[in-house]
Amino acid sequence: MKLFVYHTPELTPTHDLPDCAVVIDVLRATTTISTALNAGAEAVQAFSSLEQLLEVSSTWLPEKRLLAGERGGAKVEGCDLGNSPLDCSPELVQGKRLFISTTNGTRALQRVEQSHTVLAAALINRKTIVSYLLEKNPSTVWLLGSGWQGGYSLEDAVCAGAIADLLMQHQDNIEIGNDEVIAARALYTQWQNNLLEMFHKCSHGQRLLGLNCHEDLKYCAQTDFLDILPIQKEPGVLIKG
């Protein structure tokens, strides 16, 4: 297994795709996707544009769909939900498809949607992601952070490092594809016992604190909390694996 870390979709190789792409948007898209599927959502369908989300979701019965839209950390007017995992209760999402568009995470999913395998990872489901990678042993793996509007995000890098660290604890022959893997693992080692503190310091964490999302940060900082594998069924559509 050859492992790469890319901090934003824009930093990935232009004319290449991995055997397995692991998309990370800890605050909060991939945490929300994992939570929704764990709570019984039929699927989560991701869109980079709100216009496309509205067009496709309009073909579904209202009682079978939920619209989740977020821009700048805030809920988009006219959508049922924003991007908070805490809103994804079983009572709300059971049996429904979540149509989601966020500032960053859904763009990252779109970048790698033609890869052989696409997974959505966060801290809360790290162990399940790693178990899948160890079982399937794909030849190339990208840990792809979503960043913030094309820029670096500390929390996504730390999550990539958390995945890399657990992988390397269990498999000796992992080949390091770029220096970002080493750096991300070092960041995780630094912050692993203070993840919530890291969220409070990083720029997007501070942005969410300004929107009174304190409980979201606490939830997203949990590690290995859910046994859920969000895996792409068809381009843009993630189901429980």
pLDDT by 10s per residue, the chain, length 241 = 999 999 999 999 989 999 999 999 999 999 999 999 999 999 999 998 889 999 999 999 999 999 999 988 888 988 999 889 999 999 999 999 999 998 787 889 999 999 999 999 999 999 999 999 999 999 999 999 999 888 999 999 999 999 999 999 999 899 999 999 999 999 999 999 999 999 999 999 999 999 999 999 999 999 999 999 999 999 999 999 9
Q: What is the DSSP letter of 76?
A: P
Report the CATH fold assignment for 2-240. putative 2-phosphosulfolactate phosphatase (3.90.1560)
Q: Is 178 buried (19+), middle (13-18) or exposed (0-12) by CB count in 10 A?
A: middle
Write down how long the chain is: 241
